A and B are shown apart, each in its own frame.
Chain A
Amino acid sequence: MILLHKLALIIDASTPSIVLPIIELEEVSKAFGSRHALTAVNLSIRPGVSGLLGPNGSGKSTLIKTLLGLVRPTGGKVRVLGYELPGAVRAVRDNVGYVPEDDCFISGLTGIESAQMVARLSGLAGLEALRRAHEVLDFADIGQERYRAVESYSTGMRQKLKFAQALIHDPQLLILDEPTTGLDPDQRHSMLKRIGLLSREFGKSVLLSTHILPDVREVCDQVIILSRGRIRVTESLATLSKPMRSGLHLRTVGAAESLVVELRHLGYEVTQPARDQIGVIGLESQDSQLLWQAAYRARVAISRIEPATNSLEQIFLEAVRESGYAPA
């Protein structure tokens, strides 16, 4: 199984049809007393960047800890990179890099010492560990701050250090739990660029757990939505973005209320996600003439017409609502 997996990773890009999943969960459950954190989770994640979405308390952290062998499931089978847990927990941790959501550091160490220590724990020898630590700190954009105690770092710096430490042993799979939290917009963009680069150019698979949907849209190929300990959605982002029914999405100059009234008067199903945006269901691109006429009658100027797509926010909210979770 492990050999097959390695072979599949080698020929990953050219023949994606035979690529084995990097993560496989079969009927995995985990209960903490009477609380069910995961219920009969079946999941298969292919190489690439996968976004793990879910409201607070949905079981994301438990799922991640299960993948790292930190939490032993109550039932079911877990395979990561072809290694079965909990038996091959060392092999999994040797090949997985993890960025925890929580702030975590060794008190008293500088950034470079911390990275070097983590490298040595992952099996890099003394001087090589130091060399590699400098290399990944450069990649994570940590400059001279690496010689300061980690306690004195800002939240953003600590995020970057955690990211560098996760990469230090060149893992095949990166599990990133909220990696852009605490980063300013510029740093956030750089972090997402790095994630994309690692996936595209170095063939790393990434499981990105986040609440920030634009992050998922920017870098992920696949989306997994977890709610109340169950998988609600597992699909590629491209498939999810296709609308269930055909329609057009309009942007107007100023308020669009009168156009909404006019279109409803014509018998179309209309949604208004924002003051200056309208979704018209059932219309195709070739029917745009109708829209221009309706806009003329409603005295509204249209600035943009495009085929409608499902928004990730919409998919997320629908999936979460279906599970019985009531978002605030």
Chain B
Amino acid sequence: MPLHDVGYRRWTGRRTFPWGRWWVLALVGIQLVWRGTWLKRTLVLTWLPAVAAAAGFFLYEQSITQPELRRGLADFTRIVGQDRAIRDLVMEEPEAARHQVWSILLLAFFRYPQALVMALIVGLIAPRLIAYDVRTRAYLLLFSRPIGVNEYVLGKLCVVWFYLAIITTVPALVLYLIGVFLSPDLGVVSQTWDLPLRVLAASVWLIVPTSLVALAFSSLTIDSRYAAFAWFAMWVLGWAAYSILTLVQISVQGGPMRRRRWSADAAHWEFLSPYHILGRVQQWCFGLLPEQQSVGPYLIGLVLVSLLAWMVVRRRMRQVSTA
């Protein structure tokens, strides 16, 4: 017997708070995911769009003193779908448009590069989280401890939330701080104090439904490849269905495509595409939703999808643990 082997000994220590043990699952999950080399590389790449957005903040602050830069900024607001009033404000009184311009820059950051990398990161992380536990029967190890199904799901969700926050919430808040430091004085904080809160709201609406749906896919299979396939198929097919049906409708109705694009008739196809649903809700979070649009159906849709996904995961884990 080695010298360090003291045989069996009783343990009489004090136990930690019983309702916070899902946190252990979250921490272990985060550590395990972090070991993936490809994930680390992808995470570095996902911060590159933040550099472009930071350049946008810099250009805007410069345009206040250098009018020749305003044209480019006004064109940018047009490209991301904003109306003429904002463009005119940027051209004539850029300092008064700070709140709108920062919101547009943050929304563009969320909406275009980060929505895509979000789909990629979740597709890399989430499919394994439950599928591997079911395949290796780790649930027997976990559910024989004082851990319930809800805590298990919460622990797994935290893993996805952590990485999604790293690529969306954290860089968006950093961008806001960059904007504050690039501005002429700290008085801009009183003008833009609500933007960090809007970033948090946009993050929650992006992160919670997507991670729940991804975990639901993961729970339905023991092979994570199928869950990953279902995840990416949902985005690609949704986007393709929206695009095709919108184009068909526009061509049937006639008229210039760009003007018809955001018409109310075409908008209902957006419910087929998770990307467009999330985009609308984020527009609303940043206060940039067109007046004729209502966010209610989109919010209800996301809430329903989230609840359904939660129920699927819970039901599946209960089935698995009692089988």
Inter-subunit contact B9/A135 (CB<8 Å): yes
Q: Is B146 an interface residue, CB under 8 A from the partner?
A: yes
Inter-subunit contact A104/B18 (CB<8 Å): no
Q: Is A186 an interface residue, CB under 8 A from the partner?
A: no
Chain A: minimal CB distance from B282 (Å): 34
Q: Which residues of B contact A106 (CB under 8 A)?
A: 28, 32, 133, 136, 138, 141
Q: How many residues of B contact A (CB 8 A)?
A: 39
Q: Which residues of A contact B259 (CB under 8 A)?
A: none
Bound-complex Cα distance A90 to B140 (A):
15
**Interface hits, A30-72 → B, CB 8 Å:** 65, 68, 70-72
Over the window 90-103 of chain A, the binary record of Cβ atoms lying under 8 Å from chain B Cβ atoms (1 yes, 0 no) is 10011010101011
The number of inter-chain residue pairs (CB within 8 angstroms) is 114
Inter-subunit contact B321/A70 (CB<8 Å): yes
Chain B: minimal CB distance from A191 (Å): 13
Bound-complex Cα distance A306 to B2 (A):
43
Inter-subunit contact A105/B24 (CB<8 Å): no
Q: Which of A114-122, A273-281, A293-301 contacts B (4 or more CB under 8 A)?
A: A114-122
Over the window 226-258 of chain B, the binary record of Cβ atoms lying under 8 Å from chain A Cβ atoms (1 yes, 0 no) is 000000000000000000000000000000000
Q: Which residues of A contact B292 (CB under 8 A)?
A: none
Q: Is A123 an interface residue, CB under 8 A from the partner?
A: yes
User: Would you give 26 A-B contacts (Cβ < 8 Å), ordered by A?
Assistant: A65-B322, A70-B321, A70-B322, A94-B18, A96-B144, A100-B141, A104-B136, A104-B138, A104-B139, A106-B32, A107-B135, A107-B138, A108-B32, A118-B145, A121-B21, A121-B142, A122-B15, A132-B13, A136-B8, A138-B4, A139-B5, A162-B141, A167-B8, A170-B10, A170-B12, A202-B10
**Which residues of chain B have a CB within 8 Å of any CB of chain A?**
2, 4-16, 18, 21, 24-25, 28, 32, 35, 128, 132-133, 135-147, 321-322
Query: Closest 8 interchain pairs by CB?
Result: A123-B15, A104-B137, A170-B11, A98-B144, A121-B145, A100-B140, A90-B146, A120-B24
**Which residues of chain A have a CB within 8 Å of any CB of chain B?**
65, 68, 70-72, 89-90, 93-94, 96, 98, 100, 102-109, 113-114, 117-118, 120-125, 128, 132, 135-136, 138-139, 162, 165, 167-170, 194, 197-198, 201-202
